[in-house]
């Protein structure tokens, strides 16, 4: 009689399987629980590809593209499918550069061949053809030295250089048909489940690869070109190329010869240059601008940016006053609740909009206003004889997640507002095919800050992240195109500094913790970077907001 292995699915259903049964086979038994094809498994809290076999009693779960985990797997898999399609259609010398995320997709360029709209259409057709061909994503463990030799032979020097700085004796490569590539996280099993995507030609050999998102997993939406966001990314990418720093290996080379101090100064000067130009723009409109609104997603550096902008404006003779929207929260018992019964402090209705606008109007008209202060312990507004009165040419600065939404400042004419959208648009990539998620930069920043200033563990922050991202999708991103100016708060050197602070915190996440797989993913990501000491990070840097030592701390 054959020995059977007990497998528990989410602790709600149990089956017995023969030894060496693949997870792909087991997934067929549970696909009824999913709306989309299963992409990856979790076995005893470790992400595992469907090609792996079951060898012992275990608890399993699966993910499709509607989940955060499945979405990431789908993104990597469609990315590799694109790489294969480029090689098949345009030749082995053609190289696709996956630059950065934009509008739920990747912005890409192709080197070695000219492209236009007809070529992009053919490339999309080739991807669909390869998808239907049911090619298997195969993971192969090889020595790092052998991998370097292979990529050197294939003239893929971006891989050669990034692998130089990885200390692992063995690494994982992935094979799709006859193409090998380096990826450090899980892939789907087959191209047949990577069947929904679109390519949109932009210009100058550039195009966008779009695919379903966790907020719209049903299908790929048409790409919407956000020109200001796109141009901000492009400017920073061009600047990085001038410095000859586009990938992790480029940064590591600077670090390895001890020249990171100069790079820190250059990065800070780039950021400050953005503030200087915006201050000039506001100064030129000083007779019109009454309110400056700064909004951006979590950990984009809003606090430091608003305070630095105040310095620039004061240097030009523009007196500023900062007002906290948080002081206008309604009493806690009046705060709307989410569907799961928790207080929704992020929604616009959590703010006393009428009182906020009444005070703004009075201030702009020169009246003296008794300002509230919110007591977060009691969940009530309080008044402590704190008055504010501004002069005719003074400007009010407001920062918060609703800053770009005109409903927040409905009593103020649009012409009297100056809106700033802030986010770290990371131009750095690991290599030509492994992009760095802007959200990962913010996630690492927040882990460092939450631990330093709030006593939270990495696990605490990671557990909050999906809810944070959902709030950004609802309250921030829809309004980004209304901004008068965009500030890129990414610093080209920061991942090397953040690694020093965040990596130990990630190692503290226990194997039975629900966010353990995500901690491992971030650890694997950070292994691609050498550490950079924080000693020479200026005390007015945005990065200091997260690692400590900021001169702007009250």
Domain 5-64 has CATH 1.25.40.420: no
- In 10-72, beta strands by DSSP E: 13-17, 21-22, 40-43, 46-48, 53-54, 58-63
Q: What's the mean pLDDT in 424-453?
A: 92
Residue 1 has pLDDT above 60, yes or no: no
For the chain, what percent of residues have pLDDT higher than 70?
99
Lookup: tokens for 110: 């192709």
Domains 5-64 and 69-224 share a fold: no
Give the residue extent of every domain in the chain.
5-64, 69-224, 239-317+399-547, 320-392
Question: How much of the chain, in percent, has pLDDT values that exceed 90?
Answer: 84
Neighbours of 4 (CB within 10 A): 13
Torsion angle of C-alpha atoms 540, 546, 548, 553, degrees rounded to 10: 60
Reported as a single tens digit per residue, the pLDDT across 511-544 is 999 999 999 999 999 999 999 999 999 999 999 9
Q: Where are the beta strands (DSSP E) in 273-407?
A: 291-295, 320-324, 369-375, 380-388, 395-399
Which CATH class for the 69-224 domain? alpha beta
Find the angle CA(223)-CA(225)-CA(229) to the nearest 5 degrees.
130
For the segment 298-318, the average pLDDT, to the nearest whole number, is: 95
pLDDT at 101: 82
| Residue 255 reports pLDDT greater than 60 | yes
Nearest to 9 by CA among 51, 57, 49, 52: 57
pLDDT tens figures, 95-109: 999 988 887 889 999
User: Across residues 436-451, what is the average pLDDT?
Assistant: 94
- pLDDT band for 554, please (50, 70, 90 cuts): low
Separation CA 544–CA 445 (nearest Å): 10
Stretch 422-441: mean pLDDT, rounded? 90
Residues 193-218 pLDDT 10s? 999 999 999 987 799 999 999 989 99
Q: How far apart are CA 147 and CA 530, in angstroms?
A: 20
Q: Are the CB atoms for 307 and 551 separated by under 8 Å?
A: no
Q: Cα separations (Å) of 94 from 113, 117, 151, 467?
A: 6, 17, 15, 40
Q: How many helices (H) and strands (E) does the chain have?
A: 15, 21
Arithmetic mean of pLDDT over the chain: 93
**Residue 375: its pLDDT value, please?**
92
pLDDT of residue 339: 85
């Amino acid at each position: 009689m054959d020995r059977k292995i007990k497998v528990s699915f989410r602790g709600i259903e149990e089956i017995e399987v023969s030894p060496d049964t693949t997870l792909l086979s087991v997934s067929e038994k549970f696909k009824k629980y999913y709306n989309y094809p299963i992409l990856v498994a979790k076995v005893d809290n470790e992400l595992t590809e469907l090609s792996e076999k079951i060898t012992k009693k275990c608890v399993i779960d699966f993910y499709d593209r509607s989940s955060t985990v499945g979405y990431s797997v789908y993104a990597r898999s469609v990315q590799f499918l694109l790489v294969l399609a480029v090689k098949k259609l345009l030749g082995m010398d053609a190289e696709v550069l996956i630059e950065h995320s934009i509008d739920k997709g990747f912005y890409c360029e192709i080197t070695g061949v000219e492209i236009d709209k007809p070529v992009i259409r053919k490339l999309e057709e080739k991807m669909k053809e390869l998808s239907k061909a049911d090619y298997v994503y195969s993971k192969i463990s090889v020595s790092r030295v052998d991998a370097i030799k292979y990529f050197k032979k294939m003239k893929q020097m971006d891989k050669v250089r990034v692998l130089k700085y990885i200390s692992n004796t063995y690494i994982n490569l992935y094979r799709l048909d006859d193409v090998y590539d380096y990826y450090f996280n899980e892939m789907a099993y087959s191209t047949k489940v990577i069947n929904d995507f679109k390519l949109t030609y932009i210009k100058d050999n550039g195009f966008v690869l779009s695919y379903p998102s966790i907020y719209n997993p049903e299908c790929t939406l048409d790409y919407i070109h956000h020109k200001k966001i796109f141009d901000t990314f492009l400017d920073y990418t061009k600047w990085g190329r001038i410095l000859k720093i586009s990938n992790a290996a480029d940064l590591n080379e600077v670090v390895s010869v001890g020249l990171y101090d100069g790079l820190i100064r250059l990065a800070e000067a780039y950021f400050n240059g953005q503030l200087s130009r915006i201050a000039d723009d506001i100064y030129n409109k000083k007779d019109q601008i009454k309110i400056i609104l700064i909004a951006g997603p979590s950990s984009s550096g809003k606090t430091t940016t608003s305070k630095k902008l105040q310095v620039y404006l004061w240097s030009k003779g523009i007196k500023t006053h900062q007002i906290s929207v948080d002081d206008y929260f309604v009493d806690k018992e009046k705060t709307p609740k989410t569907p799961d019964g928790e207080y929704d402090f992020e929604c616009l209705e959590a703010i006393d909009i009428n009182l906020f606008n009444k005070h703004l109007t009075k201030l702009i008209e020169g009246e003296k206003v008794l300002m509230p202060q919110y007591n977060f312990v009691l969940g009530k507004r309080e008044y402590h004889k704190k008055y504010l009165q501004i002069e005719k040419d003074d400007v009010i600065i407001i920062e918060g997640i609703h800053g770009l939404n005109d409903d927040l400042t409905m009593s103020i004419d649009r012409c009297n507002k100056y809106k700033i959208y802030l986010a770290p648009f990371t131009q750095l990539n690991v290599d030509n095919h492994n992009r760095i998620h802007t959200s990962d930069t913010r996630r690492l920043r927040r882990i460092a800050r939450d631990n330093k200033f709030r006593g939270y563990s990495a696990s605490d922050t990671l557990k909050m992240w999906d809810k944070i991202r959902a709030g950004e999708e609802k309250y921030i991103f829809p309004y980004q195109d209304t901004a008068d100016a965009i500030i890129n708060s990414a610093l080209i050197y920061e991942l090397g500094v953040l690694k020093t602070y965040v990596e130990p915190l990630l190692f503290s996440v226990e194997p039975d913790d629900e966010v353990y797989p995500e901690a491992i993913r971030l650890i694997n990501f950070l292994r691609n970077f050498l550490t950079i000491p924080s000693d020479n990070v200026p005390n007015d840097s945005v990065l200091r907001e997260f690692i400590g030592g900021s001169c702007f701390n009250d």
